[in-house]
Amino acid sequence: MKVKDTAGLALRLFIGILILFIIMNSCDKNNKMLKEDINNKDNIGYSLVENDISEEDIKTLLYSFAESPYKGKIQFLEKIEFGIPGGDNWLVEWIDRNGRNNTLILYLIKNNEIKKHYYSIVNFDMQANSRYDIMKDIPGIHIGNGTCSLGDFNGDGIDEVFQCGFYGYGKALHIWGYDAEKDSLVAYCDIPFGLIDAENGPAPVEFMTYKGIDGFKVYYAATVVAGGPNDIPETPLDNNKWFFYAWDEGEKEYIRIEEVKDGE
């Protein structure tokens, strides 16, 4: 009997030690996972805490920013993916001092701090330049009543800003993106355009698929500058024609493909 009792005691002791070993090993794994989560800034918990900033918080931060070019009202605020590393990308529209054309400024914000800002893109008042709604068929998020729209126009997964510009020297179409090497905003295109009829249209830009290629056509109209008081300015041969443009990934810009004639 004593031999039997000793064997049973040894078995119970072995089982107890095994259970204790399993518990300690499990705790050690949990501690390691917890340490990894704390040190990993890309884990879900960290992201939720870091990015738990409301739009009102962002507005308060922007209004208090010492280098804000305007102390007016924020008209538009959108968190976007513009490709700028090191924080969240926010596109903000500030009301202009003259109350007409507003300005778009891009901010890089991290940990409730403005790291950088890139400006500026003028959001021209559309009604002041065309009674016909030239923006109605432009894709993306239209910004206020202006001539700018936010979207991924070249299909690379990164946002850009489309702009119909009405300048003193003439009209120009721009699509603005971010250049990582220059760390600045760059124009992916600079195309002069004209309005056929400011009252009845059509719009000077139309996004379309042409011969199987995605892009847009523009009613091309370059500004003619006279060389002197006695010079007779010549209208460029390309003026008053529709040309199709498409994104060139190698050149990182929109290039002209060919003229789009009636019926095409």
User: Which is more confident, 134 or 27?
Assistant: 134
pLDDT in tens, 114-166: 999 998 899 999 999 999 999 999 999 999 999 999 999 999 999 999 999 99
Q: Is the pLDDT of residue 176 over 50?
A: yes
Q: Is the pLDDT of residue 175 over 70?
A: yes
Average of per-residue pLDDT across 65-80: 79
Label residue 34 by pLDDT band (50, 70, 90).
very low
Q: What percentage of residues in the chain have a pLDDT greater than 90?
A: 62
Q: What is the side-by-side order of every strand in the sheet holding 205-210?
A: 205-210, 213-220, 241-248, 253-259
Model confidence, pTM: 0.76
pLDDT of residue 27: 47
pLDDT of residue 6: 56
Question: Would you say 147 and 164 are in contact if contact means Cβ atoms under 8 Å apart?
Answer: yes
Q: Is the pLDDT of residue 30 over 50?
A: no
Label residue 68 by pLDDT band (50, 70, 90).
low
114/112 Cα distance (integer angstroms): 7
pLDDT of residue 214: 97
Label residue 241 by pLDDT band (50, 70, 90).
very high
Give Cβ neighbours of residue 236 (< 8 Å, ≥ 6 apart). Answer: 222, 224
79/58 Cα distance (integer angstroms): 10
Mean pLDDT of all residues in the chain?
82
Label residue 223 by pLDDT band (50, 70, 90).
confident
pLDDT of residue 204: 98
